[in-house]
Chain A
Amino acid sequence: AQSVTQPDIHITVSEGASLELRCNYSYGATPYLFWYVQSPGQGLQLLLKYFSGDTLVQGIKGFEAEFKRSQSSFNLRKPSVHWSDAAEYFCAVASNAGGTSYGKLTFGQGTILTVHP
């Protein structure tokens, strides 16, 4: 069964500092991978996705993520954090194995990001 682990429940950074949020997945083949962000009281917004090809993917709001097959990881990074980036971030994996589970989406526990001025 597919699964996602986000080891950090809560991360605090200063505005302008760099950021890396960790994500490890378990899946039998190369998965579809996503990062979503959720602001308080809101639904989830897609930041970026990886399906195949270049392992470094660029997303919205200056975020990027790198797929590392050998480490089963898909960590999210941003070189300089803004106060508006404070939110909860979710990593997710989708099945691409075909059959009735094709596209089934599983999420990690989430990482809450606090940004200090």
Chain B
Amino acid sequence: DVKVTQSSRYLVKRTGEKVFLECVQDMDHENMFWYRQDPGLGLRLIYFSYDVKMKEKGDIPEGYSVSREKKERFSLILESASTNQTSMYLCASSLSYTEAFFGQGTRLTVV
């Protein structure tokens, strides 16, 4: 089975902190995604990576950056966390011609 693992289920961070969310997949997928999920807004794409060191901005990239140094790992970085970044963050991976597989999510609270 494909496994997508997010490093934390719950995180609490302070305003202004630099926050790293880590995601690892074990199926050699070329695509990896970071989404943010908020009630009534569905899943909004933050960043998308289609290969190592390659990335594209999604719909809401402001305040975020990403890193993909190895194929299996895709990190989301909040450079200076703010309270409006309190949300559920979901990582996913896929081959381009198949469905995406999701991690369990990280619920981030910024106080």
Q: How large is the interface on A (under 10, 10 to 19, 20 to 34, 35 or more residues)?
A: 20 to 34
Across the interface, B35 reaches (CB within 8 A) one of A46, A100, A101, A107, namely A107
Q: Please report the number of residue pairs spanning A and B whose Cβ atoms sit closer than 8 angstroms.
A: 68
Select one of A49, A102, A106 contacting B96, CB under 8 A.
Answer: A102
The distance in angstroms between the C-alpha atoms of A110 and B41, with both chains bound, is 8
Please give me the residue from chain A that is nearest to B45 by CB atom. A106
Give A49 to B90 CA distance when docked, in angstroms.
Answer: 20
Contact yes or no, A109 B42, CB < 8 A: yes
A110 contacts across to B, CB distance below 8 A: 40, 42-43
* B56 adjacent to A107 (CB under 8 Å): no
Task: Tell whether A100 pairs with B96 under 8 Å between CB atoms, given A105-B45, A107-B42.
Answer: no
List residues of A whose CB falls within 8 A of some B CB.
6, 9, 32, 34, 36, 42-46, 49, 51, 90, 94, 96, 100-110
What are 16 A-B residue pairs whose CB atoms fall within 8 Å in the complex?
A36-B102, A42-B105, A43-B103, A44-B90, A44-B92, A46-B99, A46-B101, A49-B98, A96-B96, A100-B54, A100-B56, A101-B50, A103-B97, A106-B45, A107-B45, A109-B40
